[in-house]
């Protein structure tokens, strides 16, 4: 949790470093890595607000990601909409789509929302695969003028915005309401907390930013297979990042994403598919035995050293 | 039959029972009295094994049972009529009784036990196939007791018999319980708020207040003691 | 049109079969087993390998597949899910879904690692055989077998749950866990057996899938989707209605595909799902 002044200073320095980094030490490889990291952070925090703070487990964030990516692709590359319009539009599309499943499902118990999002993402994946079976490409004009740097800064900016909005939301009344719902929704209900409203706010945040992440991805990739955008990995990896980092904390998703990306870098080539399995196993162990994730582990270490 | 030795029991971080010791003698009806939040239900749940004590021990006929899982304790001969009856609502009266005889040993004598409990509570025979959730309070209580008897227990625990029952039915049931105790020599440990009726039925009694045993004695003597009269009967006479 | 209904019934029977295990686990333990699809997938691959290596007819291999999956289910429950038992219900459901999700990930990727992503199908000699009943009405032999198996399985499950002591103890535990314990029922073991049984049921569905459709490592999610829709349609924990719900979905899908085309097949199920949710939430 950001401890006011000190937290802001550290955050500011970190952002500054990230801004300067490409100019100083950026190679193509590292820039790509960071872009993927930023996208993961956005997705992880999106999941975290809904699942870690509001207690609504979503198993289908891929739907929001994919919707954002696909609509960005059509609006920007086919429709000619400028970047700064197409990206939010992608986010908005995701929100609208999320409402289809969210409005009925959030009124019911958590199980319905989880399986509802799961079903939603899977149904979209298959349908999109049927509608758009072919790979789609960035228009050639864009390939010619492709700038990795601009992608980097866009992703960084959106990631910072995501964290910022998340921070403001969590520190406000909204965040308190969400956590009350997560911890004991019946008690929250009887205390007058409007359950559906706050769950829905969390859903809007989650789907909007996931949609933005999708748009960034569509902007970044030169070609995509539409159905691929909706595959479970887009739900699962950010989920793992958030949970392993520490769900229900603001820094957890970031730390978890960094952890995930570093491990991927180190092991993807050497272990191939095996590293995915290792992540899955770590995730399961965290859920079962270390629910607070890395953040909690760090807290415990800090306490045992400093008392 | 049953010996509880200085148990400390917590629910979460809160201590409910403090150093509670008592005994239920073979063939006798032992009562535990106390006001609402005294910890009576917690005590019964601890004896039955649903909760484990943090300190202290519980022995059934010399066997230590406080560390055993619930189903093992049932196999050793403890049967409970829980607070609120806890019948299986979507199963028939007959099926509820069958489940009372779930343990291997009990299954062997299932059929004759069913006949026996129908003898004790004739009205249940007419309700045999009815869903347990649709019965009246009194009928449910009878099913709960009958179900607990199906396993031919050595010790019967009863939690709050009188809750939600009309006095007349309550009277009938408590007389039936006294009968069961006499005819079968079954040790019964009953927890209750209704002091008068319970002390009439019981042989020995304990008083639990704020998680501690604050009094004990033969039921007749307790009924006449000044403290009990003032603390409890006074409230009831209003 | 009658032909479409026939195919719909066959598909629906399969859907019911795929969903019954999921329904059992949720009804008994309030646990939404996200890994259910992966169990199905394993069952399908087991049938495939038994067919190709041992020339074992897939339907004959069902009992063996059941045993394999029962063992796997039991091991996974004991090793993983049983740790969640002590948690309060809301947290238990959430965490068991997360673990299930993680498990799907691990299992599916293990399958890709060992068996590659290739699509497999089991094609015994009678695969294409069709029974011409009337002009314009063809009944695929495999389809009839599927309907038979699904009916048999669901009916057997119904009998077990209502006529046997074990089955009654499962139902009792589902209704009131503490009371179940007080009857001398070993609730933890009941949960273990129920979970393992649901895995075995998924295995049966997997064998059927391998013969009538195809299997590949990530197919589990698709079948899970169907099973979930059936579960919500039928109402949680009601095994009897699962078969009916399956048939309903199968027929509705078949009929709407006829009118709308196959691209939107999944949307049909999804729309039904959302409609049912809407009805439940108001």
How many angstroms separate the CA of residue A134 from the nearest CA in chain C? Answer: 14
Is A244 in CB contact (< 8 Å) with chain C? no
Cross-chain residue pair C172–B99, CB shorter than 8 Å: yes
**Interface predicted TM-score (ipTM):** 0.87
CA angle B24, B30, B31 (to 5 degrees): 130
SS3 category, C279? helix
Distance between CA atoms of residues B219 and B48, nearest Å: 24
How many angstroms separate the CA of residue C75 from the nearest CA in chain A? Answer: 15
SS3 category, B223? helix
Give which of A176, A175, A156 is closest to A254, Cα–Cα: A156
Distance between CA atoms of residues C107 and C75, nearest Å: 14
> Residue C32's closest chain A neighbor by CA?
A111
Provide the residue count of chain A: 307
Cross-chain residue pair C182–B102, CB shorter than 8 Å: no
How many angstroms separate the CA of residue B48 from the nearest CA in chain C? Answer: 8
Neighbours of chain B (3+ CB pairs under 8 A): C
Is A133 in CB contact (< 8 Å) with chain C? no
Q: Which two tokens stand for residue C60?
A: 């004959």
Give which of B202, B57, B221, B76 is closest to B151, Cα–Cα: B76
Is C144 in CB contact (< 8 Å) with chain A? no
Residues of C in contact with A115 (CB under 8 A): 32, 228, 231-232
Is A159 in CB contact (< 8 Å) with chain C? no
Pairs of CB atoms within 8 A across A/C: 125
Helix, strand, coil content of chain B in percent (nearest 5): 45, 25, 30
Cross-chain residue pair A118–C277, CB shorter than 8 Å: no
Q: Decide: residue B116, CB within 10 A, 0-12 exposed, 13-18 middle, 19+ buried.
A: middle
SS3 category, A178? helix
Of B41, B71, B93, B152, which to mutate for an interface test with C (greatest number of C Cβ within 10 Å)?
A: B71
Which residues pair with residue B205 across a beta bridge? B31, B217
Distance between CA atoms of residues C271 and C267, nearest Å: 6
How many angstroms separate the CA of residue B212 from the nearest CA in chain C? Answer: 26
State what percent of residues in chain B have pLDDT above 70.
95
Model pLDDT, residue A276: 83
Of C94, C220, C232, which to mutate for an interface test with A (greatest number of A Cβ within 10 Å)?
A: C94
Give which of B52, B47, B43, B39 is closest to B2, Cα–Cα: B47
Of B84, B99, B145, which to mutate for an interface test with C (greatest number of C Cβ within 10 Å)?
A: B99
Q: How many helices (H) and strands (E) does chain A have?
A: 14, 2
Is C221 in CB contact (< 8 Å) with chain A? yes
Q: Hey, how many other C-beta atoms are within 10 angstroms of the C-beta on C24?
A: 23
Residues of B in contact with C185 (CB under 8 A): 71, 99, 102
How many angstroms separate the CA of residue C135 from the nearest CA in chain A? Answer: 33
With residue B6 as reference, give the H or E element that holds it. strand B2-11
Residues of A in contact with C219 (CB under 8 A): none
Distance between CA atoms of residues A302 and A294, nearest Å: 12
Per-residue pLDDT of chain A (307 residues; tens, 9 = 90+): 445 677 778 888 888 888 888 777 778 888 888 999 999 999 999 999 999 898 889 999 999 999 999 999 988 888 778 888 889 999 999 999 999 888 888 888 888 899 999 999 999 999 998 888 888 888 777 777 778 888 888 899 999 999 999 999 998 888 888 888 888 877 888 887 788 888 999 999 999 999 999 999 998 888 889 999 999 999 999 999 999 998 888 889 999 999 988 888 888 777 777 788 888 899 999 999 888 888 888 888 888 887 6
CB B223 within 8 A of CB B199: yes
- Closest CB from A108, A126, A243 relative to C222: A126
Distance between CA atoms of residues C223 and C211, nearest Å: 15
SS3 category, C123? coil
SS3 category, C183? coil
Range B158-177 average pLDDT: 82
Strands (E), B61-197: 63-64, 78-81, 155-159, 187-192
Model pLDDT, residue B238: 39
Residue with tokens 């005294």: B38
Of A61, A186, A187, A284, which to mutate for an interface test with C (greatest number of C Cβ within 10 Å)?
A: A284
Is A127 in CB contact (< 8 Å) with chain C? yes
Q: Hey, how many other C-beta atoms are within 10 angstroms of the C-beta on C51?
A: 22
Q: Is pLDDT at B232 greater than 70 in this prediction?
A: no
CA angle B92, B93, B99 (to 5 degrees): 90
Instruction: Give CA separation, A63 vs A208, A299, B171, C89, in Å.
Output: 11, 34, 63, 28
SS3 category, B217? strand
What is the average pLDDT value for chain B, to the nearest integer? Answer: 84
pLDDT digits (tens, 9 = 90+) for B1-36: 788 888 888 887 888 888 888 888 888 889 888 877
Per-residue pLDDT of chain C (282 residues; tens, 9 = 90+): 778 888 889 999 999 999 999 999 998 888 899 999 999 999 999 999 998 888 888 888 899 999 999 999 999 999 998 888 888 877 888 899 999 999 999 999 999 988 888 888 888 777 777 777 777 777 888 888 899 999 999 999 999 998 898 999 999 998 888 899 998 899 999 999 999 999 999 999 999 999 888 899 989 988 999 999 999 888 876 777 889 899 999 999 988 888 888 888 888 888 888 888 888 877
Q: Hey, how many other C-beta atoms are within 10 angstroms of the C-beta on B147?
A: 29
Distance between CA atoms of residues C11 and C17, nearest Å: 10
Chains A and B in direct contact, meaning 3 or more beta-carbon pairs closer than 8 angstroms: no
> Residue B157's closest chain C neighbor by CA?
C182
CB B1 within 8 A of CB B59: no
């Amino acid at each position: 949790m950001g401890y006011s002044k000190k937290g802001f200073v550290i955050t500011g320095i970190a952002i500054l470093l990230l801004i300067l980094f490409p100019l100083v030490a950026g190679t193509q490889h590292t820039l790509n890595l960071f872009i993927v990291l930023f996208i993961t952070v956005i997705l992880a925090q999106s999941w975290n607000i809904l699942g870690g703070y509001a207690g609504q487990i979503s198993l289908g964030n891929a739907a929001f990601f994919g919707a954002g990516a696909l609509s960005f692709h059509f609006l920007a590359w086919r429709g000619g909409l400028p970047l700064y319009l197409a990206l939010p539009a992608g986010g908005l599309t995701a929100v609208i789509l999320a409402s289809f499943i969210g409005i009925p499902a959030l009124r019911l118990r958590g199980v319905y929302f989880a399986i509802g999002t799961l079903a939603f993402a899977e149904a979209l994946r298959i349908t999109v695969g049927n509608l758009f079976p072919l790979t789609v490409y960035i228009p050639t004009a864009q390939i010619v003028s492709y700038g990795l740097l601009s992608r980097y800064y866009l992703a960084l900016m959106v990631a910072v915005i995501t964290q910022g909005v998340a921070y403001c939301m969590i520190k406000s009344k909204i965040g308190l309401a969400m956590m009350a719902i997560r911890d004991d929704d019946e008690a929250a209900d009887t205390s007058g907390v409007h359950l559906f409203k706050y769950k829905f706010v969390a859903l809007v945040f989650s789907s909007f930013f996931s949609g933005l992440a999708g748009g960034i991805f569509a902007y970044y990739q030169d070609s995509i297979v539409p159905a691929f955008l909706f595959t479970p990995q887009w739900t699962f990896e950010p989920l793992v990042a958030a949970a392993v980092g520490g769900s229900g904390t603001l820094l957890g998703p970031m730390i978890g994403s960094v952890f995930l990306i570093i491990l991927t870098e180190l092991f993807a080539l050497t272990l191939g598919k095996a590293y995915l399995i290792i992540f899955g196993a770590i995730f399961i162990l965290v859920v079962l035995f270390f629910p607070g994730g890395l953040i909690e582990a760090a807290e415990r270490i800090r306490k045992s050293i400093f008392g | 039959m049953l010996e509880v030795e200085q148990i400390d029991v917590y629910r979460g971080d809160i201590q409910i029972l403090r150093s509670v010791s008592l005994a239920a003698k073979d063939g006798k009806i032992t009562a535990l009295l106390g006001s609402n939040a005294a910890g009576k239900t917690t005590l019964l749940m601890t004896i039955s094994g649903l909760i484990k004590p943090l300190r202290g021990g519980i022995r059934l006929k010399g066997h230590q049972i406080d560390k055993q899982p619930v189903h093992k304790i049932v196999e050793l001969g403890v049967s409970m009529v829980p607070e609120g009856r806890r019948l299986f609502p979507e199963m028939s009266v007959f099926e509820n009784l069958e489940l009372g005889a779930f343990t291997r040993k009990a299954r062997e004598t299932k059929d004759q036990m069913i006949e026996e409990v129908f003898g004790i509570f004739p009205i249940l025979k007419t309700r045999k196939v009815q869903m347990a959730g649709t019965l009246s309070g009194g009928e449910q209580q009878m099913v709960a007791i009958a179900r607990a008897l199906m396993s031919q227990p050595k010790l019967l625990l009863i939690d709050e018999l009188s809750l939600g029952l009309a006095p007349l039915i309550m009277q009938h049931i408590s007389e039936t319980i006294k009968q069961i105790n006499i005819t079968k020599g079954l040790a019964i440990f009953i927890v209750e708020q209704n002091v008068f009726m319970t002390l009439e039925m019981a042989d020995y009694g304990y008083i639990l207040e704020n998680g501690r045993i604050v009094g004990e004695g033969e039921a007749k003597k307790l009924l006449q003691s000044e403290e009990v009269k003032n603390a409890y009967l006074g409230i009831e006479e209003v | 049109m009658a032909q479409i209904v026939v195919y719909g019934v066959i598909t629906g029977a399969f859907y019911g079969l795929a969903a019954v295990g999921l329904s059992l686990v949720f009804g008994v333990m309030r646990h939404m087993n996200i890994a259910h699809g992966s169990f199905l997938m394993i069952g399908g691959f087991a049938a495939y390998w038994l067919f190709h290596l041992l020339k074992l007819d897939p339907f004959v291999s069902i009992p063996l597949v059941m045993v394999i999956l029962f063992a796997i289910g039991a091991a996974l429950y004991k090793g993983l899910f049983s740790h969640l038992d002590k948690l309060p219900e809301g947290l238990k459901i959430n965490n068991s879904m997360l673990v299930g999700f993680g498990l799907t990930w691990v299992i599916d990727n293990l399958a890709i690692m060992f068996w590659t992503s290739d699509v497999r199908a089991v094609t015994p000699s009678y695969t294409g055989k069709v029974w011409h009943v009337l002009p314009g009405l063809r009944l695929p032999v495999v389809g009839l077998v599927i309907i038979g198996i699904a009916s048999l399985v669901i009916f057997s499950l119904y009998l077990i749950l209502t006529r046997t002591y074990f089955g009654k103890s499962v139902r009792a535990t589902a209704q009131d866990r503490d009371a179940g314990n007080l009857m001398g029922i070993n609730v933890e073991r009941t949960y273990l057996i129920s979970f393992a049984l649901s895995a075995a049921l998924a295995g049966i569905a997997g064998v059927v899938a391998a013969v009538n459709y195809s299997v590949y490592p990530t197919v589990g999610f698709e079948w899970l989707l169907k099973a979930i829709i059936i579960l919500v349609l039928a109402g949680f924990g009601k095994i009897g209605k699962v078969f009916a719900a399956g048939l309903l979905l199968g027929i509705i899908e078949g009929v709407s595909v006829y009118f709308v085309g196959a691209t939107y097949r999944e949307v049909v199920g999804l729309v039904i799902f959302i409609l049912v949710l809407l009805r439940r939430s108001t």
